[in-house]
Structure 1
């Protein structure tokens, strides 16, 4: 345990970006996405093809209640059948009433609904307020800032409109000819460097690294313990490599990006180092199978990556409609 904590503290000191962009910074590595980065990413769009990287938000997702997270549920305020029999929601009285049958389907009506979901129930960004270590979140803000009305520091709204950059696709499952990496497989820096060398790719400051293990696709029909159970993922020991490369964001097709079970006696140690201290944008449960097919078809593993979260003030995460554009 002592050795594990010493290792973790060493990585924290080695990888921290606290103060790098000033004492009030709440963007972390997203600061590395500059206007030049965006222009260079836009130049990668050659044919105008758009590939969604987002799973459906519905009741059939991977959540099981672990950490209190449920799958999204859509509830109707009004309905088409109700409209057809003359029932609609009256905007003046705010009551549901039966209107005169003569109004029926020959007049205007509407369909309205409510979406109820945890902010981290599907494809999503973690906010920098999501993880704490020794009473603090990214850049030294107190965990006390994350209260019942939302976090006063490091909320996900800080990312809104700012995550548009070059995406570099590391498709280890396809590269190794497997349907999915095995649960518990820790992706190493050698794995990442070897892939990038073979594909003749280089990482540039401000890039988004998009890592496909195949795990989401393998579990899509029967999720089981996908959410929180054993999973392939990045090794804790990739944290210094990530920091040295000045990567702006990492997204993967797993529940939590990092390997599970964790490699040391600490819960989610890569979150502790890279999210809470490096300030790295973490994108989880990205659906990368269509992108894999496309990249295998055209041989192009870099693209414009656009993935802005919703401006949910003070939220610990946000759904995202992510796109790869070629």
Structure 2
């Protein structure tokens, strides 16, 4: 039994490594993940959410002038991109239909008003379609954000600390950085690692600055493949490199998102470092990650500054949740 378990673990690990497309697997820390920013106390679970204050929220709402809403989320639907074998596909089935409920209610509750209704059942990873990563999604050397050992926070039914229910509601200035436009292309190429110079160059071209407490969205153009080529979209793509993530953290942002599957570049810059941007932002900095954001309308309209509203569903113990994001102007 012990040998069988060891073989199974080995297979799972090899599958996970393959799934991240030659990003590599290593038991040794092979990259500088940056310094810790655990500045809100040892009991903190909000991370960079602490940067949203009454003043920043009021300022964000005051900036809304037209009352226009721009959707930044994809539908959660069958066929949504997923990283196999790490993630399972999204599946929704009808568990109750109008006719069978009409019969049930008539026979068991004496209903005479011909009422029927529908109920559905969903099987999914919480990291499906447009979603947000909880601070507990990723670890470094068996520790969560704020240096908490995983043995203090994991259970068979979810996390007991740093789950998505601990994240705040988000109302903040939303800043779009259109790197694709800065580079003069419709879409960056798969495997292109966005640099600090790319971000700063795009911001300068746009005439945009990042205020503290903002949510940053990066437009790569890769989102065009979300529906057209979902599995190609999921398993490769442009994204920010580790240096870019460190620069964004220095701007005191609350969250960073992009129109791609992983926020960061896939395959990664270092073949021995798997998803280091996730480690730096979530674990080291407490900065939330948004994946599969729908940024095309903002980019087309050159809306570089809006007010972003995001309300994560409070799945207790979950490491993320599908997310409805709106930009207001």
Measured in 2, the distance between the counterparts of 1:242 and 1:122 equals: 24
Q: Per-residue deviation at 1:5? A: 4.2
Q: Per-residue deviation at 1:91? A: 10
Give the match for residue 25 of structure 1: 44
For residue 67 of structure 1, give the secondary structure of its aligned residue in structure 2: coil
Q: Does the Cα contact within 8 Å between 1:253 and 1:285 map onto a contact in 2?
A: yes
For residue 290 of structure 2, give the secondary structure of its aligned residue in structure 1: strand
Give the match for residue 158 of structure 1: 166
Q: Does the Cα contact within 8 Å between 1:44 and 1:302 map onto a contact in 2?
A: no
Give the direction of change, closer, same or farther, for the CA distance of 1:290–1:80 in structure 2 (3 Å limit): farther
For residue 70 of structure 2, give the secondary structure of its aligned residue in structure 1: strand
Measured in 2, the distance between the counterparts of 1:91 and 1:114 equals: 24
Measured in 1, the distance between the counterparts of 2:72 and 2:255 equals: 15
Give the match for residue 123 of structure 2: 116
Does residue 206 of the first structure (1) align with residue 209 of the second (2)? Answer: no
RMSD: 2.3
Does residue 252 of the first structure (1) align with residue 255 of the second (2)? Answer: no
Deviations 1:108-134 (A, max 9, x none): 322222222210011111111111111
Q: Does the Cα contact within 8 Å between 1:129 and 1:316 map onto a contact in 2?
A: yes
Measured in 1, the distance between the counterparts of 2:184 and 2:105 equals: 55
Give the direction of change, closer, same or farther, for the CA distance of 1:175–1:239 in structure 2 (3 Å limit): closer
The alignment's TM-score, normalised by the length of structure 2, stands at: 0.85
Q: Does the Cα contact within 8 Å between 1:159 and 1:308 map onto a contact in 2?
A: no
Contiguous gaps of at least 5 residues in structure 1: 94-98
Q: Does the Cα contact within 8 Å between 2:310 and 2:324 map onto a contact in 1?
A: yes
Aligned residue among 312, 315, 324 for 2:318: 315
Deviations 1:49-82 (A, max 9, x none): 11111111111211253303312x2222322354
Does residue 87 of the first structure (1) align with residue 103 of the second (2)? Answer: yes
Q: Does the Cα contact within 8 Å between 2:175 and 2:214 map onto a contact in 1?
A: yes
Q: Per-residue deviation at 1:160? A: 4.1
User: 1:1-326 alignment to 2 at 5 Å?
Assistant: 5=29, 7-8=31-32, 11-13=33-35, 16-18=36-38, 20-63=39-82, 65-71=84-90, 73-82=91-100, 86-88=102-104, 103=112, 107-144=114-151, 145-161=153-169, 163-227=170-234, 229-264=235-270, 265-293=272-300, 295-296=301-302, 300-326=303-329
Q: Does the Cα contact within 8 Å between 2:133 and 2:290 map onto a contact in 1?
A: yes
Give the direction of change, closer, same or farther, for the CA distance of 1:275–1:69 in structure 2 (3 Å limit): same
Give the match for residue 96 of structure 1: none
Q: Comparing both structures, which one devotes a greater share of its residues to helix?
A: 2
Measured in 2, the distance between the counterparts of 1:177 and 1:38 equals: 34
Q: Does the Cα contact within 8 Å between 1:186 and 1:259 map onto a contact in 2?
A: yes
Deviations 1:76-122 (A, max 9, x none): 23223546xx53457968xxxxx89xx5xx53322222222210011
